[in-house]
Amino acid sequence: MTRTSAPGVRVDDLTVVYKTPAGELPALGGVSLSLAPGTITGIVGESGSGKSTLALSLLNAVQSPGRIKNGTVEIDGLGNIVELKGEDLRKARGRQVGYVFQAAQNSLNPLKTVGKQLLDLGRSHDFDDLPALLKDARSLLGRMGLDGGRVLDSYQHELSGGMRQRVGIMLALVLNAHLVVLDEPTTALDMITQAAILRIVREVHHERGLTTLIVTHDMGVAAEVTDSLAVMYGGRVVEHGPTTEVLGAPRHPYTKGLIRAIPRLSGDIDGATALPGRPPTLGTIPLQGCVFRERCPMRIAVCDTVDPVPVTRDARTVACHAVGRLATPVVPKEYA
Amino acid sequence: MTVVEGMPPTTVTLRRNFWRGVGRVMRRKPSRMVGVGIVLVFVFMGIFGPLLYPNPLPRDDNALYASPSWAHPFGTDFEGTDVLALVVTGTRYVLLAGLTTAVITVALGTVIGLLAGFHRGRWDTVLMRLTDLQLTIPGLPLLLVLSTVWKFTSPIEMGVVLGLLGWGGIARAVRSQSLSLRERGFIEAAKGLGLSTRHIIGRELLPSMAPYIAMNMLIAVTGAIYAQVGLFFLGVLPFDANNWGVMLNLSVFGGGALSSTAALPYLLAPLLAILLLTLGIVLVVDAMDEIFNPRLREE
Amino acid sequence: MKTVVRRLSGHLARGLAMIWVVTTLSFVIIRNIPGDPVRGQYEKLIEQGMSPDAAERATAALYGFLPKGSLWSQYVDYLNGLIHGNLGQSLSTPGTGVATIIGSAAKWTILPVLGGTLLSFLLGVTLGVYAAVKRSGKLGDALSISGSLLHGVPQYVIALLVVAVFSTLWPILPSGGPVDIMFTPGFNGPYIASLIQHATLPVLTYALASYGGWILAMKSSVATVLGDDFIMAAELRGMSRGILFRYIARNAILPLFTILALSLGMLFGGAIFIESIFNYPGLGLLLVNSIGARDYALMGGTFLVLTVAIVIANIAADLLYAVIDPRVRKGETA
């Protein structure tokens, strides 16, 4: 029952909590986000903003001591993955939703060749035609500029970081999953490899007709490959919209701050201004009011008490009291 | 990322957190308190045991292999000596030898492990070959062979020999610890700050390894206790020492404790002492393991 | 292949070095035993009316070196004898070579030790996985504690308890000697049944004595592997439970092979206690008895053979490791 076309994904009011000695703390506080079929969506945010937790939620794979407390993740052709359990969930993972790990992670069994692990994967998902699977993998690896036959015969320790990452992408795609989640796919890779990987991701995305989600903390990566961009802060999606618009005309004060903090290659380094303060950690996320207010230059009285509701206007969603008040979004000169 | 607030308050908080952690670990499994209690009782017996009884221990010729009674909770031995008194007074030799071993293993193992891990290169190779040799040499057979020339009448002697035969494990552990600290750039950073080697080893490396070493020390103590009791049990050492192993030997090979029940209490008392001491140490190590090794901490 | 050869030759060199250290130690100890047994033997033979020449030869046959000349030349003689496989003659069993006695004792040690180790390895590794997965459960806790206790208790205590329970209090199995003397040795039913009966308790003791260590080692190894990224990756790729389990088990067992080598060595040491208690005529009992009988040539020979056994176990474990771990096989450091 694999889909042959890109699925849409709708995350609704998703709350993920982590059990700590201080009680259950929210890592995601009621996130709603939809991925349009066939698009590449980026999630950016500082570490601890909950972006990886959100990515894992798409596979219902939030790691203990965390758990999904509330909300739904509807994937076309699969239903609400939060409610899937046992074998159904296992078969959805890999087959319908591919997941690519951080490059720095060792995502392969060190004791088996890539090819053997591929066969394990095929058997796990009841593939009858294993030779075809191998052929598919070889051609995918070839597409990514690798010698497929050689890579399949290699152990993890014989591959470089960039090669491992490409193998990871191959394993996420080879079962024909049409929803692919990439968690920091280029972190810890050098610039050349990073560019190559991003190019591959984009090409394969179009070629195979995928819905893709890329988690990154690198605005440059987001700008380069994504169609739409979600900005996360303190377990909330604070802004979401088409990438060019979000980056070109940010509305949420946090997005503005983030963009202002990017140093330009040309121009004065002083032009980049770091956001004041520190991002909240699990224990310091305010339980009431806007999560960003402590660092916000546009803070108003209502921010202390009421969590702003995301408001969607002309394809852009923003969760901010201050922005919601203004009839028309005004970009203050200093940020332009 | 950390805000510099001056050292003293940070260390104080750390220490307080540490003791709070100890408290929590202890409370979560009351058995660990029992472990600490057992170890303390044995230490008490080791220190004050011999003072509680007259020397030599009184014999009751009318009660050879007497059954347990109020006067003799574990009965008497072949000479009519109270078995409990033998166990209590025997604790000192056992613990003293164990402690000596622990001091020597820890001192030798730490120094050799640090030297190897810190200097690497040729030093490392030589020291690790030595360690491998020490680890693979069959310790107990060697002890037996040694017993033909050495009688181990004093617990200190026994402890020294056991220590010389047992430092390998700690040396290897300390080396790999210092190597991993090294890999994390710990030592390079300290060197970059212009700190002296002595300072780095004494102030930076050792404290971070102390818990590890302490745990290994406890394990070394148990190992030493077993080895010496075992040697006496085998009967290759003179019987005049007051050691649980002598009791085991006399009850098994002399009293026939394994074929008749008369000498059974005589056999069971030292066995029970060993088991209790083991239990105590295992529980303490279990607690230490969780205090120092957060990875094993359950969510 | 090349690296395996290099590793092997390194091991051999180290093994030989250790054997040399052990033999030298034996020599020094035998020379330093109070009363000098070598010279004593020589003088005793002279007193019995033997010619100095004959006495010299008889003593040399016994200890492998002559009781005269410089210490150095005695030492060289001794080593020379060993290289030619001459371990000397036994004093307590006159006329028998030490090598022969050791050879016949070795089978009583090797088979029970291997049997017990295999049993405890399989049991401990299986239960260790369970203890790691169910770390927070009651049964997992109980398994860990039982492992720690059994691991912590010395072998002779376990052996004594086993005898007390199965031989004295509830006598269902024999605990003395290797076989009932009433049966004629050979390949016949009653004799083999008796052999097995007598071996059961020693093997059980070996197994109990090492099982705790395996549980603990496997538990911590599995806990480490469970935290590895590739396990989560396999899970998120939807690998089936069976495959996932195999991934975990194989990676977790790997480090245990180094422990296997050391533990075999320890078990040979432990054989001393277990064989003494069960009166089982293996190498351990031989060593104890040779000391009791002041049969120093036999003592030195047994000590040497125990050492060689450990060296061999080490090499075997290392080769096994190389077969299983591709990183070692290809000669790269992980």
What is residue A12's three-state secondary structure? strand
Q: Nearest chain C Cα to B133, which residue?
A: C18
What is the full DSSP assignment across A144-179? TTS-HHHHHT--GGGS-HHHHHHHHHHHHHTT--SE
Report the chain B residue with the minimal C-alpha distance to residue A63.
Answer: B299
**C146 in contact with B at a CB cutoff of 8 Å?**
no
Q: Is B262 on the interface with C (CB under 8 A)?
A: no
Confidence of residue B117 (pLDDT cuts 50, 70, 90): confident
Dihedral angle sign, alpha carbons of residues A91, A95, A99, A104:
positive
Interface list for B 270-299 with A (CB within 8 A): 299
Q: Report CA-CA distances (Å) from B58 to A316, B61, B254.
A: 95, 10, 21
Residue C333 has a pLDDT of 39
The answer to whether B140 contacts C14, with C-beta atoms less than 8 Å apart, is no
C-beta of residue B159 within 8 angstroms of C-beta of residue B99: yes
pLDDT band at A240 (very low <50, low <70, confident <90, very high): very high
Separation CA A66–CA A64 (nearest Å): 5
Q: Which sign, positive or negative, has the C-alpha torsion C1, C2, C5, C6? A: negative
Neighbours of B23 (CB within 10 A): 10
Contact C14 B258 (CB under 8 A): no
Rounded to a whole number, what is the distance in Å from the CA of C108 to chain A's nearest CA? 38
Cα distance between residue B98 and residue B222, in whole Å:
7
Q: Residue C286's CB: how many other CB atoms inside 10 A?
A: 29
Report CB contact under 8 Å: C238, A61: no
Between A228 and C22, the more confident residue is A228
Q: For chain B, what is the mean pLDDT?
A: 77
Three-state SS for C38-70 is: HHHHHHHHHHCCCCHHHHHHHHHHHHCCCCCCC
| Predicted confidence band of residue B270 (pLDDT cuts 50, 70, 90) | confident
Q: Between the ranges B83-92, B179-188, C66-75, C113-122, where is the mean pLDDT highest?
A: C113-122
Rg (CA), chain C: 24
Q: Return the DSSP state at C173.
A: S
- Does residue B2 surpass a pLDDT of 50? no
Confidence of residue A151 (pLDDT cuts 50, 70, 90): very high
Decide if pLDDT at B7 tops 60: no
Q: Is the pLDDT of residue A322 over 50?
A: yes
Query: What token pair was written down for A216?
Result: 């990154």
Domains and CATH numbers, chain B: 42-54+73-296 (1.10.3720.10)
Predicted pLDDT of residue A182: 92
Is the predicted pLDDT of residue B276 greater than 50, yes or no?
A: yes
Chain C, window 252-271: residues with a beta carbon less than 8 angstroms from a chain A beta carbon: 254
For A86, left (φ over 0), alpha (ψ -120 to 50), or beta? left
Is there a contact between C237 and A108 if contact means CB atoms under 8 Å apart?
no
Band of residue A113 on the pLDDT scale cut at 50, 70, 90 = very high
**Which ipTM was obtained for this model?**
0.84
Domains of chain A with bracketed CATH: 9-96+177-263+273-325 (3.40.50.300)
One-letter amino acid of B263: A
Decide if C330 touches A, using CB distance below 8 A. yes
| C 242-271 near B (Cβ less than 8 A) | 262, 265, 268-270
Helices of type H across C70-188: 71-83, 98-133, 138-152, 155-163
Q: Token pair of C173, please?
A: 């199995």
d(C-alpha C53, C-alpha C75), whole Å: 20
Domains by residue range for chain C, with CATH: 98-329 (1.10.3720.10)
Compare all CA atoms of chain A with the CA of C236 and give the residue at the minimum distance. A93
Residues 6+ apart with CB under 8 A from A332: none
Q: What pLDDT does B252 receive?
A: 79
Which residue is closest to B24 within chain A, CA to CA? Answer: A21
Mean pLDDT of all residues in chain A? Answer: 85
Give which of C273, C239, C222, C220 is closest to C109, Cα–Cα. C273
- Position A55 scores a pLDDT of 92
Top pLDDT among A203 and C329 is at A203
CB atoms within 10 A of CB B47: 13
State the pLDDT at residue C190: 76
Encode pLDDT of A72-88 as tens digits: 999 998 889 988 888 88
Length, in residues, of chain C:
334
What integer is the mean pLDDT of A190-207? Answer: 86
- CB-based contacts of C106, cutoff 8 Å, min separation 6: C282, C283, C305
pLDDT, residue A297, reads 84
What is the rounded radius of gyration, in angstroms, for the C-alpha atoms of chain A?
Answer: 21
From the list C92, C201, C97, the residue with the least C-alpha distance to C155 is C201
Q: Which residue of A has its CA nearest to C332?
A: A157
Judged by CB atoms closer than 8 Å, whether chains meet at C303 and B129 is answered as no
Q: A64: which chain B residues are within 8 Å (Cβ-Cβ)? A: 299
Each of the 334 residues of chain C gets a pLDDT tens digit; together they read 566 677 778 878 888 888 888 888 888 887 777 666 677 777 777 777 777 777 777 777 766 666 666 777 778 877 877 777 777 777 777 777 888 888 888 888 888 888 888 888 888 888 888 888 776 677 777 888 788 778 878 888 888 888 888 877 777 777 776 766 666 666 677 777 788 888 888 888 888 888 888 888 888 888 888 888 899 899 999 999 889 989 998 888 888 877 776 677 666 766 888 888 888 888 888 888 888 887 888 888 888 888 888 888 878 877 777 777 777 665 443 3
Please check the confidence at residue B289 and state whether its pLDDT lies above 80: no
3-state SS, residue B69 = coil
The predicted model gives B108-130 an average pLDDT of 84
pLDDT greater than 60 at residue A43:
yes
Residue B204 falls in which region: left (phi positive, over 0), alpha (psi -120 to 50) or beta: alpha
Which of C134, C226, C235, C236 has the highest number of chain A CBs within 10 A, making it the mutation to test binding with A? C236
Is residue B29 helix, strand or coil? coil
pLDDT of B193 higher than 90: no
Contact B159, B173 (CB under 8 A): no
